Chains A and B, each alone.
Chain A
Amino acid sequence: MRYKDFELVDFLADEFFILWVKNPDKNTQHFWEKWLIEHPEKREIVLKAISIIRGVSYKEGEHLTDSAYIDIFENILSADKEKGKYGRGFLNSDKNNNIKNIAAILIFGFCAWMGYYHTFLYSEPAPVSNKTFVIKRSTPLGSRSLITLADSSKVHLNSSSEISYPSDLATSNRWVELKGEGFFEIKKNGKPFTVLIGGTKIEVMGTSFNVKVEENKLSVALMTGKVMVKDQKGNQVSLYPDEMLVMEKSGDLYKSDFDTLKVTGWKDNVLVFDSDNFENCRKKIEAWYGVEIILKGEIRKSWVYSGTYINESLENVMRGVNFTSGLNYKIENRKVELFN
Protein backbone atom coordinates (compact mmCIF):
# COMPACT_ATOMS: atom_id res chain seq x y z
CA MET A 1 0.00 0.00 0.00
CA ARG A 2 1.23 3.46 -0.82
CA TYR A 3 0.93 6.45 1.44
CA LYS A 4 -1.68 8.04 -0.82
CA ASP A 5 -4.01 5.14 -0.02
CA PHE A 6 -3.43 5.35 3.73
CA GLU A 7 -6.30 5.74 6.12
CA LEU A 8 -6.00 7.25 9.57
CA VAL A 9 -5.22 3.94 11.24
CA ASP A 10 -2.48 3.20 8.71
CA PHE A 11 -0.77 6.46 9.47
CA LEU A 12 -1.12 5.86 13.17
CA ALA A 13 0.72 2.57 12.86
CA ASP A 14 3.36 3.65 10.36
CA GLU A 15 6.85 3.79 11.75
CA PHE A 16 8.25 6.31 9.30
CA PHE A 17 5.30 8.60 9.87
CA ILE A 18 5.57 8.33 13.67
CA LEU A 19 9.26 9.00 13.49
CA TRP A 20 8.56 12.26 11.68
CA VAL A 21 5.97 13.27 14.27
CA LYS A 22 8.02 12.31 17.31
CA ASN A 23 11.65 12.85 16.30
CA PRO A 24 11.75 14.71 13.02
CA ASP A 25 15.09 14.64 11.26
CA LYS A 26 16.23 15.76 7.82
CA ASN A 27 15.09 12.55 6.14
CA THR A 28 11.59 12.49 7.48
CA GLN A 29 11.05 16.22 7.22
CA HIS A 30 12.15 16.31 3.64
CA PHE A 31 9.88 13.44 2.68
CA TRP A 32 6.72 14.33 4.53
CA GLU A 33 6.70 18.01 3.79
CA LYS A 34 7.05 17.26 0.09
CA TRP A 35 4.47 14.53 0.25
CA LEU A 36 1.92 16.77 1.90
CA ILE A 37 2.29 19.38 -0.80
CA GLU A 38 1.62 16.74 -3.40
CA HIS A 39 -1.34 15.29 -1.54
CA PRO A 40 -3.35 18.20 -0.16
CA GLU A 41 -6.43 15.95 0.05
CA LYS A 42 -4.67 13.98 2.80
CA ARG A 43 -3.82 17.02 4.80
CA GLU A 44 -6.74 16.77 7.20
CA ILE A 45 -6.21 13.13 7.98
CA VAL A 46 -2.48 13.65 8.51
CA LEU A 47 -3.08 16.52 10.90
CA LYS A 48 -5.49 14.35 12.81
CA ALA A 49 -2.98 11.53 13.03
CA ILE A 50 -0.34 13.95 14.25
CA SER A 51 -2.55 15.29 16.99
CA ILE A 52 -3.46 11.79 18.14
CA ILE A 53 0.14 10.62 18.25
CA ARG A 54 1.13 13.71 20.17
CA GLY A 55 -1.90 13.37 22.42
CA VAL A 56 -0.99 9.91 23.67
CA SER A 57 0.95 9.78 26.89
CA TYR A 58 1.51 7.87 30.06
CA LYS A 59 -1.41 8.58 32.27
CA GLU A 60 0.72 8.86 35.35
CA GLY A 61 4.11 7.82 36.56
CA GLU A 62 6.80 8.49 39.06
CA HIS A 63 9.99 10.41 38.51
CA LEU A 64 13.24 9.42 40.07
CA THR A 65 14.50 11.99 42.52
CA ASP A 66 18.08 13.16 42.30
CA SER A 67 18.91 11.71 45.67
CA ALA A 68 17.56 8.29 44.70
CA TYR A 69 19.46 8.60 41.43
CA ILE A 70 22.68 9.00 43.39
CA ASP A 71 21.78 6.39 46.00
CA ILE A 72 21.18 3.69 43.43
CA PHE A 73 24.42 4.56 41.68
CA GLU A 74 26.35 4.31 44.90
CA ASN A 75 24.72 1.05 45.89
CA ILE A 76 25.58 -0.45 42.53
CA LEU A 77 29.23 0.48 42.85
CA SER A 78 29.46 -0.62 46.46
CA ALA A 79 28.06 -4.00 45.50
CA ASP A 80 31.17 -4.43 43.35
CA LYS A 81 33.30 -3.75 46.34
CA GLU A 82 31.47 -6.30 48.41
CA LYS A 83 32.31 -8.88 45.84
CA GLY A 84 35.94 -7.83 45.96
CA LYS A 85 35.95 -7.36 42.26
CA TYR A 86 36.64 -3.79 41.48
CA GLY A 87 36.19 -2.25 38.07
CA ARG A 88 37.52 -5.32 36.42
CA GLY A 89 38.09 -4.09 32.93
CA PHE A 90 39.23 -0.64 33.58
CA LEU A 91 42.69 -1.55 34.77
CA ASN A 92 43.52 -3.55 31.70
CA SER A 93 41.43 -1.31 29.52
CA ASP A 94 42.42 -0.17 26.09
CA LYS A 95 44.05 2.42 23.96
CA ASN A 96 42.29 5.47 25.11
CA ASN A 97 44.44 7.00 27.78
CA ASN A 98 42.22 9.95 28.20
CA ILE A 99 39.24 7.81 29.08
CA LYS A 100 41.39 5.78 31.39
CA ASN A 101 42.47 8.84 33.29
CA ILE A 102 38.98 10.16 33.70
CA ALA A 103 37.78 6.77 34.80
CA ALA A 104 40.63 6.62 37.28
CA ILE A 105 39.75 9.99 38.75
CA LEU A 106 36.14 8.98 38.90
CA ILE A 107 36.81 5.73 40.63
CA PHE A 108 39.44 7.10 42.92
CA GLY A 109 37.16 9.87 44.08
CA PHE A 110 34.42 7.41 44.56
CA CYS A 111 36.54 4.95 46.49
CA ALA A 112 37.74 7.66 48.79
CA TRP A 113 34.20 8.70 49.43
CA MET A 114 32.96 5.18 49.88
CA GLY A 115 35.89 4.31 52.06
CA TYR A 116 34.84 7.00 54.44
CA TYR A 117 31.34 5.66 54.85
CA HIS A 118 31.53 2.02 54.14
CA THR A 119 34.60 0.56 55.69
CA PHE A 120 33.60 -3.04 55.99
CA LEU A 121 35.71 -5.68 57.48
CA TYR A 122 35.04 -8.51 55.17
CA SER A 123 36.05 -11.74 56.75
CA GLU A 124 36.43 -14.94 54.79
CA PRO A 125 33.31 -17.02 55.03
CA ALA A 126 33.75 -20.06 57.20
CA PRO A 127 32.67 -23.24 55.49
CA VAL A 128 29.91 -25.08 57.28
CA SER A 129 28.88 -27.68 54.78
CA ASN A 130 29.85 -28.29 51.19
CA LYS A 131 27.64 -25.63 49.75
CA THR A 132 26.22 -23.37 52.38
CA PHE A 133 28.52 -21.25 54.44
CA VAL A 134 28.09 -18.37 56.82
CA ILE A 135 29.04 -14.90 55.73
CA LYS A 136 30.11 -12.37 58.36
CA ARG A 137 30.03 -8.64 57.97
CA SER A 138 31.07 -6.16 60.57
CA THR A 139 31.68 -2.48 61.01
CA PRO A 140 34.51 -1.05 63.06
CA LEU A 141 34.03 1.63 65.67
CA GLY A 142 33.15 4.93 64.09
CA SER A 143 31.66 3.71 60.83
CA ARG A 144 28.31 2.56 59.58
CA SER A 145 27.42 0.61 56.50
CA LEU A 146 24.57 -0.53 54.31
CA ILE A 147 24.49 -4.15 53.25
CA THR A 148 22.15 -5.49 50.61
CA LEU A 149 21.42 -9.17 51.09
CA ALA A 150 20.92 -11.63 48.26
CA ASP A 151 17.13 -11.48 48.64
CA SER A 152 17.35 -7.65 48.21
CA SER A 153 16.66 -7.03 51.87
CA LYS A 154 18.80 -4.30 53.33
CA VAL A 155 20.64 -4.05 56.59
CA HIS A 156 22.05 -0.81 57.87
CA LEU A 157 24.74 -1.73 60.33
CA ASN A 158 25.66 0.71 63.06
CA SER A 159 29.17 1.24 64.37
CA SER A 160 30.96 -1.80 65.85
CA SER A 161 28.19 -4.22 64.96
CA GLU A 162 28.19 -7.51 63.14
CA ILE A 163 25.83 -9.69 61.16
CA SER A 164 26.20 -13.30 60.03
CA TYR A 165 23.98 -14.92 57.45
CA PRO A 166 23.94 -18.02 55.27
CA SER A 167 25.28 -17.85 51.74
CA ASP A 168 22.06 -19.35 50.40
CA LEU A 169 19.87 -16.77 52.09
CA ALA A 170 18.06 -15.88 48.89
CA THR A 171 17.01 -19.41 48.12
CA SER A 172 16.43 -21.21 51.39
CA ASN A 173 16.86 -19.99 54.95
CA ARG A 174 16.33 -16.35 55.49
CA TRP A 175 18.09 -15.58 58.76
CA VAL A 176 20.59 -13.10 60.07
CA GLU A 177 22.36 -13.15 63.40
CA LEU A 178 22.97 -9.72 64.85
CA LYS A 179 25.44 -8.28 67.31
CA GLY A 180 25.20 -4.58 68.06
CA GLU A 181 22.66 -2.46 66.23
CA GLY A 182 21.03 -2.81 62.85
CA PHE A 183 18.16 -1.36 60.89
CA PHE A 184 16.47 -3.97 58.73
CA GLU A 185 14.43 -3.42 55.59
CA ILE A 186 13.16 -6.88 54.78
CA LYS A 187 11.71 -7.67 51.37
CA LYS A 188 8.69 -9.89 51.24
CA ASN A 189 9.29 -13.03 49.25
CA GLY A 190 6.82 -15.49 50.69
CA LYS A 191 9.30 -16.94 53.16
CA PRO A 192 9.72 -15.71 56.73
CA PHE A 193 12.83 -13.83 57.72
CA THR A 194 14.36 -14.30 61.16
CA VAL A 195 16.75 -12.08 63.07
CA LEU A 196 18.57 -13.98 65.81
CA ILE A 197 19.93 -12.34 68.92
CA GLY A 198 21.30 -14.97 71.23
CA GLY A 199 18.29 -17.15 71.98
CA THR A 200 15.78 -14.50 70.99
CA LYS A 201 14.16 -14.57 67.57
CA ILE A 202 12.47 -11.81 65.64
CA GLU A 203 10.26 -13.24 62.94
CA VAL A 204 9.03 -11.07 60.09
CA MET A 205 7.62 -11.27 56.59
CA GLY A 206 8.35 -7.91 55.03
CA THR A 207 8.97 -4.95 57.28
CA SER A 208 11.41 -2.33 58.43
CA PHE A 209 12.60 -2.16 62.00
CA ASN A 210 15.50 -1.27 64.22
CA VAL A 211 17.17 -3.75 66.55
CA LYS A 212 19.62 -2.68 69.22
CA VAL A 213 21.46 -5.19 71.36
CA GLU A 214 23.03 -3.79 74.50
CA GLU A 215 24.73 -5.50 77.37
CA ASN A 216 21.64 -5.83 79.49
CA LYS A 217 18.76 -5.23 77.13
CA LEU A 218 17.40 -5.69 73.62
CA SER A 219 15.19 -3.11 71.90
CA VAL A 220 13.14 -3.70 68.78
CA ALA A 221 11.48 -0.66 67.19
CA LEU A 222 9.08 -1.27 64.36
CA MET A 223 8.60 1.24 61.51
CA THR A 224 6.41 -0.66 59.05
CA GLY A 225 4.79 -4.06 58.78
CA LYS A 226 4.56 -6.50 61.63
CA VAL A 227 7.07 -8.52 63.62
CA MET A 228 6.87 -11.28 66.18
CA VAL A 229 9.49 -11.44 68.93
CA LYS A 230 10.06 -14.77 70.67
CA ASP A 231 12.48 -15.24 73.53
CA GLN A 232 14.01 -18.38 74.94
CA LYS A 233 11.54 -18.57 77.79
CA GLY A 234 8.67 -18.89 75.36
CA ASN A 235 7.41 -15.31 75.56
CA GLN A 236 5.88 -14.07 72.32
CA VAL A 237 5.14 -10.46 71.58
CA SER A 238 3.71 -8.99 68.38
CA LEU A 239 4.73 -5.49 67.46
CA TYR A 240 2.85 -2.99 65.34
CA PRO A 241 4.21 0.09 63.59
CA ASP A 242 5.56 2.81 65.88
CA GLU A 243 5.84 0.40 68.78
CA MET A 244 9.07 -0.42 70.54
CA LEU A 245 9.67 -3.51 72.63
CA VAL A 246 12.37 -3.54 75.29
CA MET A 247 13.48 -6.85 76.78
CA GLU A 248 15.63 -6.55 79.88
CA LYS A 249 18.15 -9.18 80.70
CA SER A 250 16.23 -9.79 83.92
CA GLY A 251 13.36 -11.02 81.76
CA ASP A 252 11.21 -7.89 82.07
CA LEU A 253 9.43 -6.86 78.90
CA TYR A 254 7.70 -3.63 78.11
CA LYS A 255 6.31 -1.83 75.08
CA SER A 256 6.47 1.89 74.41
CA ASP A 257 6.35 4.33 71.55
CA PHE A 258 9.56 5.85 70.29
CA ASP A 259 11.09 8.88 68.64
CA THR A 260 11.97 7.82 65.11
CA LEU A 261 14.84 10.23 64.73
CA LYS A 262 16.42 9.24 68.01
CA VAL A 263 16.12 5.54 67.38
CA THR A 264 16.72 5.22 63.64
CA GLY A 265 18.38 8.53 62.75
CA TRP A 266 21.79 6.87 62.76
CA LYS A 267 21.04 5.00 59.54
CA ASP A 268 20.66 8.32 57.75
CA ASN A 269 23.78 9.71 59.36
CA VAL A 270 21.90 11.72 61.93
CA LEU A 271 23.53 11.87 65.34
CA VAL A 272 21.04 12.82 68.03
CA PHE A 273 21.68 13.95 71.59
CA ASP A 274 18.61 14.30 73.72
CA SER A 275 19.31 15.61 77.20
CA ASP A 276 22.18 13.14 77.40
CA ASN A 277 24.48 13.32 80.40
CA PHE A 278 28.22 13.33 79.96
CA GLU A 279 28.60 9.54 80.08
CA ASN A 280 26.01 9.03 77.35
CA CYS A 281 27.45 11.79 75.21
CA ARG A 282 30.89 10.27 75.56
CA LYS A 283 29.61 6.84 74.48
CA LYS A 284 27.74 8.25 71.52
CA ILE A 285 30.61 10.36 70.25
CA GLU A 286 33.13 7.58 70.70
CA ALA A 287 31.02 5.12 68.75
CA TRP A 288 30.03 7.59 66.06
CA TYR A 289 33.47 8.92 65.23
CA GLY A 290 35.61 6.03 66.43
CA VAL A 291 37.55 8.18 68.86
CA GLU A 292 38.44 8.04 72.52
CA ILE A 293 37.34 10.83 74.81
CA ILE A 294 39.57 11.66 77.72
CA LEU A 295 38.15 13.93 80.39
CA LYS A 296 40.96 15.84 82.04
CA GLY A 297 38.87 18.65 83.42
CA GLU A 298 35.86 19.04 85.65
CA ILE A 299 32.29 19.01 84.43
CA ARG A 300 29.27 19.78 86.53
CA LYS A 301 27.10 16.78 87.36
CA SER A 302 23.91 18.38 86.08
CA TRP A 303 25.29 19.04 82.60
CA VAL A 304 23.20 17.53 79.80
CA TYR A 305 23.43 18.00 76.08
CA SER A 306 20.88 18.06 73.23
CA GLY A 307 21.47 18.49 69.55
CA THR A 308 20.91 16.95 66.14
CA TYR A 309 23.81 16.59 63.74
CA ILE A 310 23.37 15.52 60.16
CA ASN A 311 26.60 14.37 58.55
CA GLU A 312 28.55 16.63 60.85
CA SER A 313 32.23 16.58 61.63
CA LEU A 314 33.60 15.70 65.05
CA GLU A 315 34.95 19.23 65.26
CA ASN A 316 31.45 20.71 65.02
CA VAL A 317 30.02 18.40 67.64
CA MET A 318 32.87 19.21 70.01
CA ARG A 319 32.32 22.90 69.42
CA GLY A 320 28.74 22.44 70.64
CA VAL A 321 29.89 20.55 73.71
CA ASN A 322 32.49 23.21 74.36
CA PHE A 323 29.92 25.98 74.07
CA THR A 324 27.54 24.52 76.65
CA SER A 325 30.00 22.92 79.07
CA GLY A 326 32.80 25.41 78.95
CA LEU A 327 35.28 22.59 78.47
CA ASN A 328 38.02 23.10 75.92
CA TYR A 329 38.90 20.33 73.55
CA LYS A 330 41.85 19.11 71.56
CA ILE A 331 41.47 16.49 68.81
CA GLU A 332 44.57 14.50 68.05
CA ASN A 333 45.14 10.99 66.69
CA ARG A 334 41.62 9.76 67.25
CA LYS A 335 41.75 11.07 70.79
CA VAL A 336 39.78 13.96 72.16
CA GLU A 337 41.05 15.61 75.29
CA LEU A 338 38.69 17.74 77.32
CA PHE A 339 40.10 20.21 79.79
CA ASN A 340 39.08 23.38 81.66
Chain B
Amino acid sequence: MKSIIKKNNYSVQPKVSSFHIEPPESIKEKPDREVWKAFDNGDELAFNLIYRSHVKRMYHYGSQITKDTELIKDCIQNIFISLRRKRGALGEVECIRAYLFKILTREILKNLKADKVSEIRFEEIKDQFFPISICPESIMIQREKEMANKELVREALGQLTSRQRQAILLLYEEGMSYKEVADTMGFNEVKTARKIVYRAMASLKEILVGQEIKPKE
Protein backbone atom coordinates (compact mmCIF):
# COMPACT_ATOMS: atom_id res chain seq x y z
CA MET B 1 0.00 0.00 0.00
CA LYS B 2 2.88 2.27 0.63
CA SER B 3 4.30 2.17 -2.82
CA ILE B 4 3.98 5.69 -3.94
CA ILE B 5 3.94 6.60 -7.55
CA LYS B 6 4.85 10.19 -7.61
CA LYS B 7 4.44 12.23 -10.68
CA ASN B 8 7.27 14.56 -11.33
CA ASN B 9 6.13 18.01 -11.14
CA TYR B 10 7.40 19.99 -14.07
CA SER B 11 5.66 23.15 -13.21
CA VAL B 12 5.57 25.45 -16.16
CA GLN B 13 7.20 28.70 -15.33
CA PRO B 14 6.20 31.99 -16.84
CA LYS B 15 7.72 32.57 -20.19
CA VAL B 16 10.51 35.01 -19.70
CA SER B 17 12.21 35.03 -23.01
CA SER B 18 11.62 34.12 -26.58
CA PHE B 19 14.50 31.68 -26.67
CA HIS B 20 12.74 29.49 -24.19
CA ILE B 21 10.59 27.51 -26.51
CA GLU B 22 7.95 25.48 -24.78
CA PRO B 23 9.10 21.85 -24.81
CA PRO B 24 6.62 19.50 -26.44
CA GLU B 25 4.31 17.55 -24.14
CA SER B 26 6.02 14.30 -25.03
CA ILE B 27 9.22 15.23 -23.23
CA LYS B 28 7.49 16.87 -20.29
CA GLU B 29 5.73 13.64 -19.41
CA LYS B 30 8.93 11.70 -19.18
CA PRO B 31 10.24 10.56 -15.83
CA ASP B 32 13.33 12.28 -14.48
CA ARG B 33 15.59 9.41 -15.32
CA GLU B 34 14.80 9.67 -19.04
CA VAL B 35 15.03 13.45 -19.10
CA TRP B 36 18.41 13.18 -17.47
CA LYS B 37 19.52 10.57 -19.94
CA ALA B 38 18.47 12.76 -22.84
CA PHE B 39 20.43 15.61 -21.29
CA ASP B 40 23.42 13.32 -20.95
CA ASN B 41 23.07 12.48 -24.63
CA GLY B 42 23.31 16.13 -25.51
CA ASP B 43 19.64 16.90 -26.05
CA GLU B 44 19.44 20.69 -25.69
CA LEU B 45 15.72 20.55 -25.14
CA ALA B 46 16.21 18.32 -22.14
CA PHE B 47 18.71 20.79 -20.76
CA ASN B 48 16.25 23.56 -21.33
CA LEU B 49 13.57 21.67 -19.49
CA ILE B 50 15.83 20.89 -16.56
CA TYR B 51 16.90 24.48 -16.31
CA ARG B 52 13.44 25.98 -16.44
CA SER B 53 11.93 23.42 -14.09
CA HIS B 54 14.53 23.61 -11.40
CA VAL B 55 16.59 26.75 -11.41
CA LYS B 56 14.17 28.97 -9.51
CA ARG B 57 13.66 26.39 -6.81
CA MET B 58 17.40 25.82 -6.60
CA TYR B 59 17.94 29.48 -6.01
CA HIS B 60 15.29 29.66 -3.33
CA TYR B 61 16.69 26.55 -1.71
CA GLY B 62 20.22 27.93 -1.84
CA SER B 63 19.03 31.08 -0.10
CA GLN B 64 18.20 28.90 2.91
CA ILE B 65 21.90 28.31 3.32
CA THR B 66 23.45 31.64 2.50
CA LYS B 67 22.26 35.19 2.05
CA ASP B 68 25.01 35.82 -0.48
CA THR B 69 22.79 35.80 -3.55
CA GLU B 70 25.68 36.33 -5.94
CA LEU B 71 27.30 33.23 -4.56
CA ILE B 72 24.13 31.21 -5.11
CA LYS B 73 23.88 32.41 -8.68
CA ASP B 74 27.52 31.61 -9.35
CA CYS B 75 27.16 28.16 -7.86
CA ILE B 76 24.09 27.40 -9.96
CA GLN B 77 25.84 28.63 -13.05
CA ASN B 78 28.97 26.62 -12.38
CA ILE B 79 26.98 23.50 -11.64
CA PHE B 80 25.25 23.63 -15.00
CA ILE B 81 28.42 24.54 -16.85
CA SER B 82 30.22 21.59 -15.37
CA LEU B 83 27.28 19.22 -15.93
CA ARG B 84 27.15 20.26 -19.56
CA ARG B 85 30.85 19.63 -19.96
CA LYS B 86 30.48 16.18 -18.49
CA ARG B 87 27.68 15.23 -20.85
CA GLY B 88 28.19 11.76 -22.21
CA ALA B 89 29.62 10.57 -18.93
CA LEU B 90 26.91 11.53 -16.44
CA GLY B 91 25.55 8.98 -14.04
CA GLU B 92 21.91 7.98 -13.71
CA VAL B 93 19.66 10.32 -11.78
CA GLU B 94 16.31 9.24 -10.36
CA CYS B 95 15.15 12.58 -9.07
CA ILE B 96 16.67 15.58 -10.74
CA ARG B 97 15.60 18.06 -8.10
CA ALA B 98 17.10 16.02 -5.27
CA TYR B 99 20.32 15.66 -7.22
CA LEU B 100 20.55 19.35 -8.05
CA PHE B 101 19.75 20.35 -4.47
CA LYS B 102 22.45 18.05 -3.24
CA ILE B 103 25.20 19.36 -5.48
CA LEU B 104 24.08 22.94 -4.95
CA THR B 105 24.39 22.51 -1.18
CA ARG B 106 27.82 20.98 -1.62
CA GLU B 107 28.98 23.77 -3.92
CA ILE B 108 27.71 26.53 -1.62
CA LEU B 109 29.29 24.93 1.44
CA LYS B 110 32.58 24.54 -0.37
CA ASN B 111 32.58 28.23 -1.18
CA LEU B 112 31.47 29.29 2.27
CA LYS B 113 34.24 27.26 3.82
CA ALA B 114 36.81 28.81 1.50
CA ASP B 115 35.48 32.21 2.41
CA LYS B 116 35.43 31.89 6.16
CA VAL B 117 38.47 32.50 8.21
CA SER B 118 38.01 29.89 10.86
CA GLU B 119 36.30 26.54 11.11
CA ILE B 120 34.61 27.60 14.33
CA ARG B 121 32.94 30.48 12.62
CA PHE B 122 31.73 28.09 9.94
CA GLU B 123 30.19 25.76 12.51
CA GLU B 124 28.45 28.76 13.92
CA ILE B 125 26.85 29.82 10.67
CA LYS B 126 25.95 26.25 9.90
CA ASP B 127 23.45 26.35 12.74
CA GLN B 128 21.62 29.11 10.94
CA PHE B 129 20.90 27.10 7.83
CA PHE B 130 17.30 26.38 6.85
CA PRO B 131 15.34 28.74 9.06
CA ILE B 132 11.87 27.31 9.50
CA SER B 133 8.54 28.68 10.56
CA ILE B 134 5.34 27.06 11.68
CA CYS B 135 2.33 29.22 11.46
CA PRO B 136 1.35 29.36 15.16
CA GLU B 137 -2.33 29.51 14.33
CA SER B 138 -2.04 26.03 12.88
CA ILE B 139 -1.02 24.73 16.27
CA MET B 140 -3.22 26.41 18.79
CA ILE B 141 -6.32 27.87 17.40
CA GLN B 142 -8.35 28.15 20.57
CA ARG B 143 -5.56 29.03 22.92
CA GLU B 144 -5.75 32.13 24.97
CA LYS B 145 -2.17 32.82 25.73
CA GLU B 146 -1.36 32.79 22.08
CA MET B 147 1.24 35.49 22.14
CA ALA B 148 3.26 33.81 24.84
CA ASN B 149 3.06 30.56 22.97
CA LYS B 150 4.21 32.03 19.74
CA GLU B 151 7.45 32.69 21.49
CA LEU B 152 7.60 29.12 22.71
CA VAL B 153 7.00 27.75 19.25
CA ARG B 154 9.78 29.90 17.93
CA GLU B 155 12.06 28.74 20.67
CA ALA B 156 11.22 25.09 20.14
CA LEU B 157 11.80 25.39 16.42
CA GLY B 158 15.11 27.05 17.12
CA GLN B 159 16.16 24.00 19.07
CA LEU B 160 15.84 21.76 16.08
CA THR B 161 19.13 21.13 14.37
CA SER B 162 19.66 22.57 10.93
CA ARG B 163 19.54 19.07 9.48
CA GLN B 164 16.21 18.38 11.15
CA ARG B 165 14.85 21.62 9.77
CA GLN B 166 16.23 20.78 6.35
CA ALA B 167 14.57 17.36 6.32
CA ILE B 168 11.23 18.74 7.48
CA LEU B 169 11.29 21.47 4.88
CA LEU B 170 12.19 19.10 2.08
CA LEU B 171 9.36 16.81 3.09
CA TYR B 172 6.65 19.38 3.79
CA GLU B 173 7.56 22.41 1.79
CA GLU B 174 9.24 20.82 -1.22
CA GLY B 175 6.87 17.85 -1.13
CA MET B 176 9.64 15.30 -1.53
CA SER B 177 9.39 11.63 -0.69
CA TYR B 178 11.68 10.17 1.97
CA LYS B 179 13.74 8.62 -0.79
CA GLU B 180 14.24 12.04 -2.32
CA VAL B 181 14.98 13.64 1.05
CA ALA B 182 17.62 10.97 1.62
CA ASP B 183 19.10 11.59 -1.84
CA THR B 184 19.19 15.32 -1.29
CA MET B 185 20.82 15.05 2.09
CA GLY B 186 23.23 12.37 0.99
CA PHE B 187 21.97 9.52 3.16
CA ASN B 188 22.59 6.01 1.97
CA GLU B 189 19.43 4.74 3.60
CA VAL B 190 15.95 6.12 3.32
CA LYS B 191 15.25 5.23 6.92
CA THR B 192 17.81 7.76 8.10
CA ALA B 193 15.65 10.51 6.64
CA ARG B 194 12.55 9.02 8.22
CA LYS B 195 14.26 8.87 11.60
CA ILE B 196 15.40 12.48 11.46
CA VAL B 197 11.90 13.73 10.77
CA TYR B 198 10.31 11.49 13.35
CA ARG B 199 12.73 12.60 16.05
CA ALA B 200 12.27 16.24 15.18
CA MET B 201 8.52 15.90 15.35
CA ALA B 202 8.68 13.97 18.59
CA SER B 203 10.80 16.72 20.12
CA LEU B 204 8.15 19.25 19.17
CA LYS B 205 5.36 17.03 20.43
CA GLU B 206 4.56 19.00 23.54
CA ILE B 207 3.97 22.13 21.60
CA LEU B 208 2.29 20.41 18.71
CA VAL B 209 -0.20 18.51 20.82
CA GLY B 210 -1.13 21.76 22.39
CA GLN B 211 -0.72 20.86 26.02
CA GLU B 212 0.01 23.57 28.47
CA ILE B 213 3.65 24.38 28.18
CA LYS B 214 5.63 25.52 31.10
CA PRO B 215 8.08 28.19 30.21
CA LYS B 216 11.64 27.37 31.03
CA GLU B 217 12.94 28.75 34.30
Residue positions of A touching B, CB distance < 8 A:
8-9, 12-13, 15-16, 18-19, 22-23, 25, 27, 31, 48, 51-64, 66, 68-73, 75-76, 79-80, 83, 85, 87-94, 98-99, 102-103, 105-107, 109-110, 113, 148, 152, 187-190, 206
In the docked arrangement, what's the CA distance between A171 and B184, Å?
28
Contacts of A79 on B, CB cut-off 8 Å? 77, 81, 84
A93 touches B43 (CB 8 A): yes
CA distance A68 to B9 in the complex (A): 23
Q: Which 7 A-B residue pairs are closest in the complex by CB-CB distance?
A: A89-B42, A55-B138, A55-B135, A59-B131, A62-B63, A51-B138, A64-B59
Chain A residue at smallest Cβ distance from B131: A59
Residue on A with the closest CB to B177?
Answer: A15
Contact B169–A103 (Cβ < 8 Å): no
Per-residue 0/1 for B16-35: is the Cβ within 8 Å of any A Cβ (1 yes, 0 no)?
11110100100100000000
Please name all residues of chain B whose beta carbon is closer than 8 Å to the beta carbon of A113 when the two chains form the complex.
Answer: 19
B201→A58 contact, CB < 8 A: no
In contact, B4 and A59 (Cβ under 8 angstroms): no
> A9–B198 contact, CB under 8 A?
yes
C-alpha spacing A58/B129, complex, angstroms: 11
A–B Cβ pairs within 8 angstroms, 21 of them:
A9-B198, A13-B198, A15-B194, A23-B9, A52-B208, A54-B138, A64-B59, A64-B73, A69-B56, A70-B17, A73-B55, A76-B81, A87-B42, A87-B44, A88-B42, A90-B44, A94-B41, A102-B45, A106-B45, A107-B44, A152-B78
Q: Which of A62, A66, A91, A148 contacts B69 (CB 8 A)?
A: A62
Are the CB atoms of A69 and B24 closer together than 8 Å?
no
**How far does the Cβ of A149 sit from chain B's closest Cβ, in whole Å?**
11
Chain B residues within 8 Å of A98, by CB: 24
| Nearest CB in chain A to that of B63: its residue | A62
B132 CB within 8 Å of chain A: yes
Contacts of B106 in A (CB 8 A): none
What residues of A have a CB within 8 angstroms of the CB of B55 in the complex? 64, 69, 72-73
**Minimum CB distance partner of A83 in chain B:** B85
Contact among B43, B72, B74 with A90 in the assembled complex (CB-CB below 8 Å): B43
Output the least CB separation between B6 and chain A (Å): 7
Residues of B at the A interface (CB closer than 8 Å) are 1-2, 4-7, 9, 14, 16-19, 21, 24, 27, 41-45, 48, 51, 55-56, 59-60, 63-64, 67, 69, 72-74, 76-78, 80-81, 84-85, 87-88, 111, 114-115, 130-139, 168-169, 171-173, 175, 177-178, 194, 197-198, 201-202, 205, 208-210
Number of A-B contacts defined by CB within 8 Å: 186
**What residue in chain B is nearest A153 (Cβ atoms)?**
B74
Min Cβ gap B47→A in Å is 9
Known contacts A55-B139, A107-B44; is-contact A18 B172 (Cβ 8 Å): yes
Q: Report chain B residues within 8 Å CB of A23.
A: 6, 9, 175
Interface majority SS (helix, strand, loop, mixed), chain A: helix
| A59-B42 contact in complex given A68-B73, A85-B85, A188-B114, C-beta closer than 8 Å | no
Contact of A15 with B2 at beta-carbon distance under 8 Å, contacts A52-B134, A79-B84 already known: yes
Q: Which of B21, B41, B72, B175 contacts A93 (CB 8 A)?
A: B41
**Could you tell me the distance in whole angstroms from the C-beta of B159 to the nearest C-beta in chain A?**
15
Least Cβ–Cβ distance between B88 and chain A, in angstroms? 7
- Measured between alpha carbons, how far is A50 from B120 in the docked complex, in Å? 39
Q: Which residues from chain B contact A15 at a C-beta distance below 8 Å?
A: 2, 4, 177-178, 194
Option from A18, A58, A189 in Cβ contact (under 8 Å) with B169: A58
Taking a contact as CB atoms under 8 Å apart, the answer to whether A152 and B64 are in contact is no
A70: nearest residue on chain B (CB-CB)?
A: B17
- State the CA gap A98–B26 with chains docked (Å): 11
Measured CB to CB, the closest approach of chain A to B77, in angstroms, equals: 5
Contact assessment for B134 and A56 in the assembled complex, using a CB-CB cutoff below 8 Å = yes
A168–B75 CA distance with the chains assembled, in angstroms: 20
Given A56-B133, A69-B16, A64–B201 Cβ distance below 8 Å? no
- How many angstroms between the C-alpha atoms of A99 and B85 in the bound complex? 21
Contact A58/B41 with A52-B139, A69-B56, A190-B114 known, Cβ cut-off 8 Å: no
A62 and B134 contact, CB distance less than 8 A: no
Contact B51 A73 (CB under 8 A): yes
CA distance A8 to B133 in the complex (A): 19
